[in-house]
Structure 1
């Protein structure tokens, strides 16, 4: 049974009721309402509705439209505020939905921001834990790696939506790409019980995906399967793999059949292909600081959303390319207000298209952070972690430091490290900044030096490191770090850089600027 806006949908009895009466609905209209309510909050495509309500029967769009009209009339949705039409795609049930007993007073909603326990992500002893290793590209063509990597990434993302699974993040799992490592060693290094391995082979019309689940404690094979499909069915294969893994692990996935939280990739194959190419180019651009790769990412991602304007994930990565060029001194887009505005437009579009996508929420949070809208930014990050407790985005740490909450930033970052055991340079830099703001300069230097070792051309690390050394009067080391800042950005000036130092509290900003000046970097 499901409750919403004063109505009770009783699936077992096949009826819709209010407090004083039963609402009449034709069986097919009832089934349409049931499908929408069971998937409340996400887009339900027309194809999904046709398969759920008219299995193995071909019907016209008019039949579905008529059912939607009858449902809206039955629940008093004249303004279409409960059932949202997504043009040419499907419908989304937008009203809050609960089950009797969830809350005696109000429908169930996403947990409020204050109740989010970020330490939960670091404690998975009571959850099955899994790492999905990069699927091997069997085409012997390195140019096709983006496809097998994309399949792996999507499986990680979809598995992470299940709150009863602890899923190691992509960045940590991909440390093993191309390496022959015993799964028991991987289990020890990542702290997981299960490892999923696989391979992908594709040609122009068909795809073969193999997958095997291995117990990382004893090396025993728990499950293996091979999927041969027409290429147009590749996305259905991903759903099948995820469901099978969940079954084998005997995970109690909360209301899996009701909520059906496995999101579908875009229906258009070409758009998905361009998205994968764009994602790979973005990753190369970020790791190698290559502007041509960023421009190639934009070209692919813009092509993807041109083909499928409803593809939220493509908008997310496209927006990230603008965020990067806004904060990093690479070309004319650095500190250009139009660049940040473009990122803002794309982030908001991603959220409008899929409000349940954590990546869209954190991207919007990052944009709001640089717009100095600190509380709104925090709310977006918190919403992302409510949507998916296994999701990891270290930008939240920087957001909290900017908002004047460095102690909480450290707590959040430490919790996220459980899902990404290989601590990347950016996270360590943000940890160092948080320690700096707490006056823990020695701890700050420890994190920042490790960050600088991993990514020596990350300017912000060298800048914060120079300030931390200066605060301890280790001026020789402070000036050496300042020289690294000038190497990365020869025209660096504090006055210009201040535009991205969006600290809410003036005293926090001044604490940092004081250290930077003491290290010998110029004001203007």
Structure 2
């Protein structure tokens, strides 16, 4: 079929997108495939996951690949205002134009008089020539040479990509099989059966995204015949109390019946939409079980031979040394961990703890300016060595993701955070860091959708305030101060000691003309972050996009009006 929308036509048989003048518009194969999927589903919201599964089936790619295709399609369609492919409320994308279709082979449009022009025989051309978009491009030999060079470049590109993602995509042994059984409904509630079935489906979908395992979904009770054996099993029960749903689930080693991990989560039964309850129940047990499974699969013989107690004590001592945020205690903690790593260079747990500490030192300005560059280089070398030892470890990937974000390497952080999510699909901290990277790169719509996804999962709860402030921040720079307020207020209710959140709240109030509330929020922010001025309130701008810089400057003007000192 030939699909027509607006002034464009998409010819499936010829794999062509034609513009208003009938000329063929250039799109990469994956972008064309995505546009075809949008056109075939016009008027229906498509989730990011649905798009990625349609365009890259059975292949893991980061969300950045999805966004690149959408950007390319928007550019070709002249959709700078994002009205053809719109970001839908709650996430996902909507293709808005009306689509009609014509039989393949019919001329793309009638002439000015409304009469379909006759098809004439094409002019004769030399046999040793080829044609693209109506233009003759020389001999077959030239085309063959060009095609050969293109093929060589493609091979090199594919090899490079394979090397970059080799630890994630290539496995030297068969992947462990995880079987999910249907969640048992013990709620004595009319909705319980449907709720348990939906939570089971969401858990199955989540574990199916994990890159280094194979997943067997629940089978009907009456199913007969041989069954595929599994290495691990996940089972659970759903219970309903007066005010909440509670899900308890276990990770079990199939051959021994040994319980490897237990996870439980409770979600309010009132005040939340059913879909949100289901999402949070599945994420609440899926996230800790996925992490525990990852720890088991990533354990090495050296881990088993290592004294876990000694490592744990060193890490706890180091953490205790920085509870009082002073440079002296930071130095003591760094020495403890560095000595432990010198004694055991292959100890990934200590390496992760050391890099996390050094990242905190950079953020808290506990290094002198001369020490910062050396500290970054040393931390990078440490975490990359840990990554070589355990390329699929959530703990290592998550720490690297945080470190890249903290040091303003946003493009790199998107890739590493995407890998983290390929082993822990419900990781709210990784989603927050993806959103933060998108925010700094000027992709404000994408950032908001990512923060909203983290809120739908709500895991781990300890990180909840981060994606809430992120959603408020993104909403604010998108020009909707009213909608930003609830996000920022929820974040402050959880973690009231974050001065920057109060300052963003002040900017929102100021834009809405609520000046007294703006001044009160700014006073609280300055009390929590004394010495903050218009010159240092914004995060470091290294590698930030011009769009983010402009948006930050705009919000700072509102902060100044609310009482932020200019110098």
TM-score for both structures, normalised by structure 1: 0.49
TM-score for both structures, normalised by structure 2: 0.46
Larger Rg: 2
Q: Of the two structures, which has the highest relative contact order with CA contacts closer than 8 Å and spacing of 6 or more?
A: 1
